[in-house]
């Protein structure tokens, strides 16, 4: 059996630490450029849009629309959110018991398949204190199709595989299509229980993986 983990809001508590910090940085840049006058009001408005949006990108787009800001400036605001290096003072932490759970599962092959930029995803792991040596491979999906990366792992290591991620559509649906077991990590925007039939198990903390392992082993 092997395990594949997502990073954001699965191993790393991105939505409660990194995202609010980087949204604030993006708004500060808009203030510096004279596009927004009051940082505090802008922060409150963004917090409102964040609650309604599926992604921070959508929230930022809604903010731009409301203020009729030129879309030519959206790129640098999005870069501040998704692309720029993590500033040294960026708060980063794991989700609860991530390190302990990885350690407990370390007799199995462990993989990461995560969407984003390679350098940034590695910075998140490092700053969160996750020892990357525990993973056989860390694959960063820069095309938006995690299924390709799951298939690559299965080709190299044909085995019962379990995918753990917070995004039902992005993480778990392509996993289920390839016959993987799926665990929905209910964290961040994915906190609401999913009714999607592609979800085999739901957890709200990673340590809940441990009793699931013998259940899967008993069914294969």
The residues of the shown chain that bind Mg ion, judged by CB under 5 A, are: 6, 8-9, 166
Distance (Å, whole) CA 188 – CA 8: 9
- C-alpha distances (whole Å) from 211 to each of 14, 65, 101, 105, 207 are 25, 47, 11, 11, 8
Task: Give the shortest CB-170-to-Mg ion separation in angstroms.
Answer: 7
Task: Give the shortest CB-6-to-Mg ion separation in angstroms.
Answer: 4
Task: Give the shortest CB-47-to-Mg ion separation in angstroms.
Answer: 21
Task: Give the shortest CB-88-to-Mg ion separation in angstroms.
Answer: 24
- C-alpha distances (whole Å) from 212 to each of 2, 47, 96, 99, 145 are 13, 36, 17, 17, 26
Nearer to Mg ion, 6 or 13 (CB): 6
Contact present, 201 and 212 (Cβ < 8 Å): yes
Nearer to Mg ion, 9 or 45 (CB): 9
Nearer to Mg ion, 54 or 67 (CB): 54
Contact present, 3 and 79 (Cβ < 8 Å): no
Task: Give the shortest CB-77-to-Mg ion separation in angstroms.
Answer: 21
- C-alpha distances (whole Å) from 60 to each of 34, 35, 84, 123 are 17, 14, 16, 24
Task: Give the shortest CB-209-to-Mg ion separation in angstroms.
Answer: 16
Nearest-Å Rg of the Cα atoms of the chain is: 18
Contact present, 105 and 5 (Cβ < 8 Å): no
In the bound complex, which residue of the shown chain has the CB atom lying closest to Mg ion? 8
Nearer to Mg ion, 39 or 78 (CB): 78
Distance (Å, whole) CA 124 – CA 121: 5
């Amino acid at each position: 059996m092997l395990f594949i983990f997502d990073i954001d809001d699965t191993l790393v508590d991105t939505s409660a630490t990194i995202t609010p910090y980087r949204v604030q940085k993006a708004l500060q840049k808009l203030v510096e450029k004279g596009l927004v006058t009051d940082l505090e009001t802008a922060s409150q408005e963004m917090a409102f849009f964040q609650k309604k949006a599926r992604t921070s990108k959508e929230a930022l787009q809604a903010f731009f629309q409301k203020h009729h800001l030129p879309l030519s400036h959206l790129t640098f605001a999005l870069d501040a959110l998704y692309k720029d290096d993590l500033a040294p003072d960026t708060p980063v932490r794991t989700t609860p018991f991530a390190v302990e759970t990885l350690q407990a599962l370390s007799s199995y092959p462990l993989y990461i398949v995560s969407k984003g930029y390679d350098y940034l995803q590695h910075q998140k792991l490092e700053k969160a204190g996750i020892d990357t040596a525990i993973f056989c491979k860390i694959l960063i999906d820069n095309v938006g199709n995690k299924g390709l990366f799951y298939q690559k792992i299965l080709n190299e290591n044909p085995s019962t595989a379990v995918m753990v991620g917070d995004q039902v559509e992005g993480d778990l649906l392509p996993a289920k299509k390839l016959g993987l077991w799926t665990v929905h990590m209910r964290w961040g925007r994915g906190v609401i229980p999913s009714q999607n039939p592609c979800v085999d198990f739901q957890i709200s903390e990673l340590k809940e993986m441990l009793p699931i392992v013998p259940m899967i082993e008993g069914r294969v």
